Amino acid sequence: MQSLAQLAPLIILFPAIGAFINFFWGARLPERISALIGIIASSLSFVIAFLLFTYLRNNDFQPLVIDPPLLADWIRIGSADLVISWQQRVDTLNVTMMLFVTFVGTLIHIYASGYMHGDPRFYRFFAYLNMFLTFMLILITGNNFLMMFVGWEGVGLCSYLLIGFWWDKPHGEGWKNSNAARKAFIANRIGDFGVLMAVFLTFWTFGTLDFYKPGELANNEAGQHHGEEAAHSEEGAAVAQGGEGEGEAAAEEEGHSVAIAAYHWSDESVEDRQLGVFGQAERFSYENRTVEFGSLSLSISTVLVLITLFMLLGAAGKSAQIPLFVWLPDAMAGPTPVSALIHAATMVTAGVYMMVRSNSFLYNATIDLGGDAFQLTSFVVTLVGISTALVGGFIAMGQFDIKRVLAYSTVSQLGFMVAAVGLGAYTAAMFHMITHAFFKALLFLGSGSVIHGMEHGHHHLEHAHGHGHGHDDHDAHGDETHGDHNPDVSPGGPTTPFDPQDMRNMGGLSRKMPITYITYLIGTLALAGIFPFAGFWSKDEILADAWIVGFIDNELKGFLALGVLLLAAGFTAFYMWRQIEMVFHGNPRHEAANFASESGSAMTTPLIILAFFSVFIGFINTPSGIPIFSGLFGEYNLGNFLEYSIQHFHLSEFQLLIALGALAIGLGGIFLARSIYGGTKALTRSGKDPLQVRPETAAVWSIANARMYWDEFYYRVFENPFNRIAKFLADVVDWNFLHDYFHDTVLYKGFNGVGKLLSRPFDLGIIDGAVNGVGWLVRQASGGLRRIQTGYVRTYAVMLLLGVVAVIVIMLLPYIRS
């Protein structure tokens, strides 16, 4: 089975080949073939990921480092002692990532084959998607920060390309799309700066960029407290007994294999250079070493604080956290599969992945606070995460664009994950990442299905209008829809008379699109954290961790996180149900909604599959002590799986109180939304949100609707001054000074002057004179000499004889003299 892991390079290669084919020959291929290539490439990657998973299961979850052929010396700078190999890591953490990335990716590829049907750049879309998968998998599988950074930048590029995929849409939409793409790219650049700085600091500190060296274990205690946790649980002693036995057996077995094949930083016989960055970080922190930066000497914990804060900046860029989250809502300008794949399920989790991977850094990034080591970065991360969760949820409540609501929801949920990372609940973060990937992909695809249906209806409508009338009679709610459709509140403005994404145009779609409705509902309940859907388990775990950190460890960040995240969970339930009400319930508010139809099977099949997983994926990490589920699905499967890759792993016990509280808050949010927006009350007659017209909520709602003026704030504070400086530089410095004065006056005149000087006296006089003089000389000389060339043989013969005599005379000269 060892050879199974050697397949790891293929997981990158398959999508790369798919992208390659579609890039170069896609234009000549029919749509079906293009889509098929993309889907096959993606699904083969999934198969590889699954094989790697089985490999890990069969090999005691021991991590493995694969050296793909031909790339051993990927980067080698001998003078700097820098050797970075193109190594791929197979461990439980990134196999988890691989599994859901490739699985969700495959489903989204299938979905896109229906969604993008008829697009002139169909093949290119699939090439981009495959390219994205390639880079995402490089990011995940890389065994060093540089490979991760390659993937990091690559997915950023793909994100940019895909957000601006419809850059050429008419009516200024293309302009918006490309602006959104640029916004995403630039926001990510800021984050990338942070990542780069973190990478540089890491290299300076540890002299390598490898996460772990081959054979090095991330966590040597993995699998040992498996049984303890179970034993702690009050219920299910029988299960615990079995678990303990298993755990010990596993531990023994594992201890055996550790002794033979693997080592850990805590083993003192291991030298520093045998350790990767994380092992070294642990050892350095354990020994409390200092790091020299030229004349500056910093303790390792301080350096780690710096590294992790830079890392947090990178994660904030990629995972859309405050303050860099503003690009994500705009990124919904891309096609919906892109939103689902990149901006909800996979790419945005890269920041969380990086931080989970760097848990050793985060754990040891402390400052001395009154004698206690205070985990500064973790605290900051928690703050960033919870504020993002709150802000995202708050803004989502005031949006009308169906995808924008989901986008802010994504921001909010990413905040949950980041907060979990900050709380040290790495498993919870990963768990929520996985569940979120499924249900958020489901919601996005569902919204895409809705948009697709709306567009279909709109097309039908235009078609019908184009051919005549009698349409209103056919539609029972025709007058209403016309009446509701107020041009003044139409979100697209006069240039876009119809916006298929605007929830104000929808309503009553549950009857038109039943499959979409059911699956969307499942996704909503999962996201809202309703028992027993996936989101309930993952969100609950984060909240439970927050509770433990707060009330048991007595840390401030735990209290903060618990309070804020509960509130954000309420927001989540509220805005999701608001969306359900607006989109699916009530009556159609636009003719297009009336004529919307269910999407094709290429789109609904992934929805169904994702809905299935949105229900059941939560059971992969069922906490102990849940009567039925923990017996049915096993306890802490994911946690026990991940602990082999995470040094500072811990599992938190199920907190019934918290779970019930969160469930109550979620249900409360739903009922509140139901009561406000339920039925036909989704919009007022004037096309306004019910909260907007109520005086007590109007102010708050308008802040949410205006997205808390983040963009305007950035525009005022950063963009506008930046633009002014740029304008100043362009107009005054560049144009007036450089062009007008420097170029035109100084350079041009100076050049002219020198040119004149050189051209007249020098060029004409000396150079030309010399050249012409040579010519004249040759001409004169040849004119004289040509007379010798008489053409008469006899004269030549005379010359010849003359020469002969001359040569003889010259030869005789010595004799004549003597």
Partner 1 sequence: MEIWLFAGVAFLAVVAAAGMLLSKNAVLSALCLIGNFICVAFLYVMLDAPFLAMVQIAVYAGAIMVLFLFVIMLLGAENVGGSAREFKWITPVTLALALSFVFATFFAFNAGDIDTQNAEGDRPYVRVAHAAAGFPEAVDIYADGALLASDVDLGEASEFLQVEPGDYDISVAFAGDDPALAIPVGSVTLLNDTAQTVVAYGEERLPLLGVVQEDLSGTPSRSTRVTVFNAYPAVEAVTLVEQLPEFSSVEPEVYAANIPYGQASTAFISREREPEWAFVRADRPEERLFSLREYELTPGLAQLIILGAEPLGVGEGFRPISIEAQSETLATFGSPASVGALLFIDYVLPFEIVAVLLLAAMVGAIVLTQRGTVKPKPGRPLRRKVSRPLTSVIASQTGQDVTNVPELPQLREPEQPEPAGD
Partner 2 sequence: MVPTEAFIILSMVLFTMGAMGVLLQRNAILVFMSVELMLNAANLALVAFAKQWGGVDGHVFVFFVITVAAAEVAVGLALIVAIFRSKQSINIDELHLMEG
For partner 2, the binding residues (CB under 8 A) are 785-794, 797-798, 801
Q: Does 712 bind partner 1 (CB under 8 A)?
A: yes
Binding mask 613-652 for partner 1 (x = CB under 8 A): ----------------------------------------
3-state secondary structure of 423: coil
Is there binding between residue 744 and partner 1 (CB under 8 A)?
Answer: yes
Find the shortest distance in angstroms from Cβ 789 to partner 2: 3
CB of 805 to partner 1, least distance (A): 5
Q: Which of 482, 511, 727, 756 binds partner 1 (CB under 8 A)?
A: 727
Establish if 812 lies at the interface with partner 1 (CB under 8 A): yes
* Residue 711 binds which entry of partner 2, partner 1, none, CB below 5-8 Å type-dependent: partner 1
Using alpha carbons only, give the angle 446, 452, 454 rounded to the nearest 5 degrees: 105
Q: Does 1 bind partner 1 (CB under 8 A)?
A: no
Pick from partner 2, partner 1, none: which does 816 bind, CB < 5 to 8 A by kind? partner 1
Report if residue 735 touches partner 1, rule: CB under 8 A. Answer: yes
Supply angle C-alpha 706, 707, 712, rounded to 5: 75
Pick one of partner 2, partner 1, none as the site partner of residue 735 (Cβ within 5 to 8 A by kind): partner 1
Asked whether position 788 contacts partner 1 by CB under 8 A, the answer is: no
Q: Residue 457's closest CA among 600, 601, 599, 593?
A: 593
Is the CB of 633 or the CB of 715 nearer to partner 1?
Answer: 715
For the bound state, the minimum distance from the C-beta of residue 714 to partner 1, rounded and expressed in Å, comes to: 9
How many C-beta atoms surround the C-beta of residue 6 within 10 A? Answer: 16
Exactly one of 91, 229, 330, 689 binds partner 1 (CB under 8 A); that residue is: 330
CB 585 within 8 A of CB 411: no
CB 101 within 8 A of CB 352: no
Binding-site partner at residue 728 among partner 1, partner 2, none, CB < 5 to 8 Å by type: none
Task: Give the CA angle between residues 12, 14, 20 to the nearest 5°.
Answer: 100
| Least distance (Å) between residue 735 CB and partner 1 | 6
Of 664 and 797, the one with the shorter C-beta distance to partner 2 is 797
Verify binding: residue 794, partner 1, rule CB under 8 A. Answer: yes
DSSP classification of residue 744: I
ω before 170 within 30° of 0 (cis)? no
Residue closer to partner 1 (CB basis): 706 or 778? 706
For partner 1, which is the closer residue by CB, 786 or 794?
794
How far apart CA 290 and CA 72 sit, in angstroms, is: 32
Interaction pattern, residues 746-785, with partner 1; x per rule: CB under 8 A: ----------------------------------------
User: Which does residue 788 touch among partner 2, partner 1, none (CB within 5 to 8 A, set by kind)?
Assistant: partner 2
Report the 10 Å Cβ neighbour count for 627: 9
Q: Least distance (Å) from partner 2 to the CB of residue 745?
A: 58
Q: Are 305 and 365 in contact (CB under 8 A)?
A: yes
Burial class (CB within 10 angstroms; exposed 0-12, middle 13-18, buried 19+) of 661: middle
Give the C-alpha separation, 269 to 271, whole Å. Answer: 6
The strand pair at 372-374 and 367-369 is best described as antiparallel
Q: How many CA atoms lie within 13 A of 561 on its CB side?
A: 38
Among 441, 660, 646, 411, which residue's Cα sits nearest to residue 540? 660
Residue 660's binding partner out of partner 2, partner 1, none, with CB under 5 to 8 Å set by partner kind: none
Q: Which two tokens stand for residue 75?
A: 């980067």
Assess 176 for contact with partner 1 (CB under 8 A).
yes
Residue 594 makes CB contacts below 8 A (sequence gap 6+) with 457, 475, 477, 478, 481, 508, 512, 588
Chain position carrying tokens 């036995």: 245
Residue 241 binding partner per list partner 1, partner 2, none, with a CB distance cut-off of 5 to 8 Å that depends on partner kind: none
Q: How far is CA 210 from the centre of its chain?
A: 22
Partner in contact with 727, chosen from partner 2, partner 1, none, beta carbon below 5 to 8 Å by kind: partner 1
- Using alpha carbons, list the distances in angstroms from residue 161 to 111, 182, 342: 19, 9, 11
* Binder among 400, 517, 571, 595 for partner 1 (CB under 8 A): 400
Q: Could you tell which of partner 2, partner 1, none binds residue 791, using a CB distance below 5 to 8 A set by kind?
A: partner 2
Q: Which is nearer to partner 2, 28 or 794 (CB)?
A: 794
DSSP 243: H
Q: By CB under 8 A, is residue 494 in contact with partner 1?
A: no
Which two three-digit tokens encode residue 209? 């960029």
Q: In the numeric block, which tokens belong to residue 290?
A: 């200092």
- Indicate whether 289 belongs to the interface with partner 1 (CB under 8 A): no
Q: How far apart are the first and last CA of the chain?
A: 105
| Shortest distance (Å) from residue 326 CB to partner 1 | 9
Residue 244 binds which entry of partner 1, partner 2, none, with Cβ cut-offs from 5 to 8 Å by kind?
none
- Identity of the residue, 479 or 731, whose beta carbon is nearer to partner 1 in the bound complex: 731
Q: Are 311 and 195 in contact (CB under 8 A)?
A: yes
Q: Which is nearer to partner 2, 730 or 797 (CB)?
A: 797
64 beta partners? 90
Nearest by Cα to 616 from 538, 733, 556, 542: 538
Residue closer to partner 1 (CB basis): 259 or 726: 726
How far is it, in rounded angstroms, from Cα 527 to Cα 636?
A: 21
**Cα–Cα distance for residue pair 622/431, rounded to 1 Å:** 10
Nearest distance from C-beta of residue 816 to partner 2, angstroms: 19
Q: Contact between 688 and partner 1 (CB under 8 A)? A: no
Nearby residues of 220 by Cβ (< 8 Å), 6 or more positions away: 258, 264, 266
Residue closer to partner 1 by CB (options 13, 332) is 332
Determine, following the binding rule CB under 8 A, whether residue 711 of this chain makes contact with partner 1: yes
Q: In whole angstroms, what is the distance from residue 626 CA to residue 624 CA?
A: 6
3-state helix, strand, coil in the chain (%, to 5): 75, 5, 20
739 binds partner 1 (CB under 8 A): yes
Least Å distance, CB 799 to partner 2, is: 10
Are 655 and 542 within 8 A, CB to CB?
Answer: no
CB of 764 to partner 2, least distance (A): 33
* Residues composing the chain: 818
| Residues in contact with partner 1, shown as a per-residue x/- string from 541 to 560 under the rule CB under 8 A | --------------------
Residue (170 or 791) nearer to partner 2, CB: 791
Interface pick for partner 1 out of 59, 179, 510, 587 (rule CB under 8 A): 179
Q: Which stretch binds partner 1 (CB under 8 A): 113-121, 298-306, 344-352, 708-716?
A: 708-716
If you compute the radius of gyration of the chain from its CA atoms, what whole number of angstroms results?
A: 35
- Residue placing its CB nearer to partner 1 in the complex, 25 or 728: 728
Cβ atoms within 10 A of the Cβ of 410, count? 30
Select the binding partner of residue 815 from partner 1, partner 2, none (C-beta < 5 to 8 A, by kind): partner 1
Residues that bind partner 1 (CB under 8 A): 175-176, 179-180, 183, 330, 400-401, 491, 705-707, 711-712, 715, 723, 727, 730-731, 735, 739, 744, 792, 794-795, 798, 801-802, 804-805, 808-809, 811-812, 815-816
